[in-house]
């Protein structure tokens, strides 16, 4: 497995991606998506930094987005996306996901998603941008 450099000043373990044959390492197809998101960089579920950004592409196992701040590979991250689809009766949804930043290039970052769920927006997570 390939290791990603440890972030400076944080106690997170480096993120890892599985090696596959050929140049493509993704196990799931990514789809272009242009949506806003909010995020928290976390250390053991304790928020360290809040921010916002815009999704570039998305799959069931990861996403790439442009953040409003520089992020470091290896940090834990929680994401909240106001989902465009609604349930019967017009109930709005929010996608909540947590994962690890696996690479960055400037303010662009890729996240490997470890856990995700949809919540009704009234019960969703709101991140304040510092």
What does the alpha-carbon distance between residue 76 and residue 14 come to, in Å, rounded to a whole number?
A: 10
Tokens, residue 7: 């972030």
pLDDT of residue 56: 97
What does the alpha-carbon distance between residue 109 and residue 125 come to, in Å, rounded to a whole number?
A: 21
Q: Residue 23 maps to which CATH number? A: 2.40.10.220
Tokens, residue 119: 């919540």
Strands 62-67, 92-105: pairing is unpaired
Cβ-contact 72, 110 below 8 angstroms? no
- Residue 7 lies inside a defined structural domain of this protein: yes
- Residue 128 lies inside a defined structural domain of this protein: no
**What kind and span of H or E run contains 64?**
strand 62-67
- Residue 129 lies inside a defined structural domain of this protein: no
Q: Is the pLDDT of residue 39 over 80?
A: yes
* 90 contact partners, CB below 8 Å, separation of at least 6: none
Q: Is the pLDDT of residue 76 over 50?
A: yes
Residue that wins the pLDDT comparison between 57 and 122: 57
3-state SS, residue 121: helix
- Residue 80 lies inside a defined structural domain of this protein: yes
Domain count, the chain: 1
Per-residue pLDDT tens over the stretch 99-110 = 999 999 999 999
| Phi, psi (deg, nearest 5) at residue 109 | -140, 150
> pTM of the full predicted structure?
0.72
User: Rg of the chain's alpha carbons, rounded to an integer?
Assistant: 15
Per-residue pLDDT tens over the stretch 43-72 = 987 889 999 999 999 998 999 999 999 999
Could you list the residue range(s) of the whole structural domain that residue 20 is in? 2-123
Tokens, residue 38: 């909010």
């Amino acid at each position: 497995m390939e290791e990603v450099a440890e972030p400076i000043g944080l106690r997170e373990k480096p993120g890892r991606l599985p090696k596959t044959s050929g140049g493509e390492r993704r196990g799931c197809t990514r789809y272009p998506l242009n949506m806003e998101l909010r995020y928290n960089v976390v250390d053991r579920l304790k928020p360290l930094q809040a921010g916002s950004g815009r999704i570039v592409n998305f799959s069931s196992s990861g996403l790439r987005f442009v953040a409003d701040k520089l992020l470091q590979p290896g940090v834990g991250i929680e994401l909240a996306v106001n989902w465009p689809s609604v349930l019967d009766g017009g109930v709005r949804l929010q996608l909540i996901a947590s994962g690890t930043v696996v690479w960055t290039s400037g303010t662009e970052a890729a996240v490997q998603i470890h856990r995700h769920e949809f919540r009704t927006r009234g019960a969703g997570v709101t991140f304040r941008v510092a």
